[in-house]
């Protein structure tokens, strides 16, 4: 579909093409040095100055065609300078780049070469830049033993699906992303709750980036496993558990399609150990554990640090009639030193819901009497936690 058309002037079609492909292109001469393959061009002869045409500019959906075309027209003679012709074409191609950027369309570009920072991609008469971090993970996962420059060298001359993510004609900046193109193609194929195989990429203090394996055998998308989603055990340093190149199984727990982000979890592939041991820690029939260190009656239970303030705030929420600590127990391992609140999925009995609070090895069961449903309780808890420092 043609996006725009602009009449720029009259010039003969053969003359236009011969000037267009002149070796004295100021744009090309200003580019930094880069690695590239061999290229040869044939000279286009200029036959006549008296046949006239009008230059029209349009965006083509075919990446093999130029963004400019000529259509014979008119009856006069117009002599355009080589510089004005080149500038006209580049101006049309910058407009085409902005159109691709605005529409989010995918462009199939030819890789002309590379430098220390990324690939050089041909866009009609322009040469754009694809930073290495914007490459799809499929390349590095396919050949993990190669350096990024070795991978780039092998890509010269091939075509790549990209999106234009930045266009600044005044600064002559044209930036591409293969990751964004891959997101458009493959993000619709995954959903929250999916379990996928993955390969660990970079590992940071806050989490690990995991490349996701698709049925075609390639790793097209990348998600983040936050350090809190690595294990149910307390993790001091994520690098003690995960390293670059590790093969892992992950569960998708959130997809932000607007920001192109996938949140992953490893620990949620297993049951929460609190829920696994709850029956053993806190007797379901209400009986008291004979070991006083393992179970206390509600009359002697001291709230976990920070829990008393939360209970007081809950009591002033509309729809909450009562809050009391019912029982407490001790886990076999430390999950987190921080206070955590969990809303049990068990159905309410006589408008009584169950909250679980834990910190370190200590677990306390809280009985919440309310007219609210589960969603209402979650919202009330969120408001309370925003008020409690």
342-363 pLDDT, tens digit each: 777 677 888 888 888 888 888 8
Give residue 389's pLDDT band: very low, low, confident or very high (50, 70, 90). confident
pLDDT at 105: 93
- 289 is written with which tokens? 């554990």
| Residue 7 predicted with pLDDT over 80 | no
Say if residues 190 and 221 touch (Cβ distance below 8 Å).
Answer: yes
Average pLDDT over residues 66-78: 48
Strands laid side by side in the 6-10 sheet: 6-10, 53-57, 68-72
DSSP 8-state assignment for residue 63: T
| Residue 296 predicted with pLDDT over 90 | no
Helix (H) or strand (E) holding 360: strand 352-360
> Which residue would you say has higher pLDDT here, 283 or 322?
322
Q: How far apart are CA 91 and CA 106, in angstroms?
A: 21
Q: How far apart are CA 280 and CA 332, in angstroms?
A: 11
211-256 pLDDT, tens digit each: 999 999 999 999 999 998 998 877 889 999 999 999 999 999 999 9
pLDDT at 79: 63
Say if residues 264 and 210 touch (Cβ distance below 8 Å).
Answer: yes
112-146 pLDDT, tens digit each: 999 999 999 999 999 999 999 999 999 989 888 89
Q: How far apart are CA 383 and CA 35, in angstroms?
A: 57
Say if residues 268 and 253 touch (Cβ distance below 8 Å).
Answer: yes
Helices (H) and strands (E) in the chain — how many of each?
9, 18
Strands (E), 77-194: 107-114, 118-123, 126-131, 159-168, 173-177
Give residue 38's pLDDT band: very low, low, confident or very high (50, 70, 90). very low
Say if residues 351 and 344 touch (Cβ distance below 8 Å).
Answer: no
Per the listing, tokens 């209970």 go with: 311
pLDDT at 23: 34
pTM of the predicted structure, to 2 decimals: 0.56
Give residue 85's pLDDT band: very low, low, confident or very high (50, 70, 90). confident
| Residue 71 predicted with pLDDT over 90 | no
pLDDT at 69: 44
Q: How far apart are CA 189 and CA 151, in angstroms?
A: 27
Give residue 1's pLDDT band: very low, low, confident or very high (50, 70, 90). very low
Average pLDDT over residues 3-18: 36
Angle at 217 between CA 112 and CA 198, to 5 degrees: 100
Average pLDDT over residues 27-35: 42
Q: Please give the C-alpha separations between residue 388 and each of 193, 243, 315, 340, in angstroms, as whole numbers.
A: 32, 37, 13, 14
């Amino acid at each position: 579909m043609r996006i725009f058309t602009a009449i720029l002037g009259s010039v003969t079609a053969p003359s236009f093409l011969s000037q267009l492909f002149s070796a004295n292109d100021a744009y090309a001469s200003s580019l930094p040095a880069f690695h590239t393959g061999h290229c040869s061009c044939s000279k286009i002869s200029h036959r006549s100055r008296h046949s006239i045409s009008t230059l029209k500019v349009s965006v083509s959906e075919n990446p093999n065609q130029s963004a400019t075309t000529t259509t014979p027209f008119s009856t006069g003679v117009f002599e355009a300078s080589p510089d004005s012709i080149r500038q006209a074409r580049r101006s049309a191609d910058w407009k085409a780049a902005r159109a691709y950027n605005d529409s989010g369309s995918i462009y199939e570009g030819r890789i002309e070469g590379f430098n220390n920072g990324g690939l050089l991609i041909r866009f009609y008469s322009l040469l754009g830049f694809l930073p290495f971090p914007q490459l799809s993970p499929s390349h590095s996962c396919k050949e993990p033993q190669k350096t990024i420059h070795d991978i780039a060298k092998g890509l010269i001359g091939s075509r790549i699906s990209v999106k234009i993510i930045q266009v600044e004609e005044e600064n002559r900046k044209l930036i591409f992303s293969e990751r964004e193109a891959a997101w458009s193609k493959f993000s619709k194929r995954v959903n929250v709750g999916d379990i996928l195989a993955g390969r660990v990429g970079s590992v940071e203090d806050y989490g690990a980036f995991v490349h996701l394996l698709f049925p075609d055998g390639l790793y097209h998308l990348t998600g983040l496993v936050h350090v809190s989603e690595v294990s149910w055990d307390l993790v001091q340093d994520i690098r003690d558990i995960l390293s670059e190149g590790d093969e892992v199984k992950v569960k998708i727990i959130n997809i932000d399609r607007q920001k192109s982000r996938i949140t992953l979890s490893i620990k949620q592939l297993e049951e929460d150990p609190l829920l696994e041991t709850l029956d053993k820690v806190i007797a379901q029939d209400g009986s008291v554990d004979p070991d006083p260190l393992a179970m206390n009656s509600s009359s002697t239970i001291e709230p976990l640090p920070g829990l008393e303030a939360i209970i007081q705030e809950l009591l002033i929420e509309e729809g909450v009639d009562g809050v009391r600590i019912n029982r407490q127990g001790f886990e076999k391992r430390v999950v987190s030193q921080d206070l955590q609140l969990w809303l049990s999925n068990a159905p309410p009995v006589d408008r009584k819901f169950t909250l679980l609070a834990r910190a370190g090895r200590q677990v306390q069961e809280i009985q919440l009497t309310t007219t609210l449903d589960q969603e209402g309780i979650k919202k009330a808890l969120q408001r309370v936690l925003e008020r409690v420092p």
